[in-house]
Amino acid sequence: MTADPGPRHDGPRRRGRRGDDGSREQLAVPRVKFESYYGRPVLKPPVWEWKIAAYLFTGGLSAGSALLAAGADLTGRPALRRATRVGGFGALLASMYLLVADLGRPERFHHMLRVAKPSSPMSVGTWILVAYGPGSALAAAAELLPPALRRSLPGHLLQAAARPAGLSAAVFAPGVASYTAVLLSQTAVPAWNGAHRELPFVFTGSAAASGAGLGLLGAPVGEAGPARRLAVIGAAVELTASRLVDRRPGLVTEAYTTGRAHQLRRWSEYLTLGGAVAAATVARRSRLAAAAAGLALLGGSALQRFGTFEAGVASTKDPKYVVQPQRARLAARGQ
């Protein structure tokens, strides 16, 4: 039988010791380096490519445009209505193409329609898109109908269905704008999961700002009043929620405030804030200024989505984003 040698301390001790001159010498503790077996990440980075980041942007743009188009229709602004209906449906087509291209096989989207699973953000989002798409398509088709066909019976029927279709798209537009944020935050990616409270507001505000940017680009100054107001509201929501992400307690915010993600999101804030300020001021008098404000809002919205995507990828490559929060939760439970 051997005596128990007691607990071992393989790492550096935090307790000080006396030096030769009687002073108290403190041993330096090296910075903790989080590693995993064989130097591999704890989580696999998302297999999604840039197409998904672009899909997040175009889907939000379509949703914001649908809301603005419905308001323009109800308030008698035909130029603004036409620009946002057609542009919103074009963005929806681009969004669907990007999604199907990333999935690899078009039939995968069809397979998701076999079931309706309320607990799955992907399933719910798929059905929201299915409910949203026909209204957007009908409203846009009514705007693109040639004058010769407008006087025919099918033309009259299509024009009569345009307003209900546009309002139907507007009803589902908030779901289209926000479901992708819910989808991302339900994954195991630390940066996305850690910001699950703020991401829906970031994406919804960004969608509204981008839709307003499209309206400022396509409508004359006299009809662009709703677009200017939506630009200010959307930008305020997006910037406030984005700042809350940056100030969340814990390590996850580092993924958003460092590296390429930080650069993209910082430029997004500059463009979004500049576009909103211009929309509220000089865009009231100048079509050129309104177009510049619209481009800034669109660029800011796109960079916000790409920055969020980059933050998620970065958080899966560094083990500290997984290990340190787990240790903190275990320590809290031990107390």
- Res 27: pLDDT: 47
Mean pLDDT taken over the chain: 83
* Contacts of residue 160, Cβ cutoff 8 Å, sequence gap at least 6: none
DSSP category for residue 188: S
Question: What is the C-alpha separation between 292 and 239, in angstroms, rounded?
Answer: 19
- Res 323: pLDDT: 59
* Contacts of residue 310, Cβ cutoff 8 Å, sequence gap at least 6: 53, 259, 260, 261, 264
β-strands 24-25, 17-18: how paired? antiparallel
Q: Tell me the pLDDT tens digit for each residue of 118-166.
A: 766 777 777 888 899 999 999 999 999 998 888 889 889 999 999 999 9
Length of the chain (residues)? 335
Say which residue, 108 or 96, is predicted with more confidence.
Answer: 96
- Res 275: pLDDT: 97
Q: Tell me the pLDDT tens digit for each residue of 225-261.
A: 999 999 999 999 999 999 999 988 777 788 899 999 9
Question: What is the C-alpha separation between 293 and 152, in angstroms, rounded?
Answer: 40
Residue 310 has pLDDT above 50, yes or no: yes
pTM value surpassing 0.85: no
Q: Is residue 260 a contact partner of residue 310, using CB atoms and an 8 Å limit?
A: yes
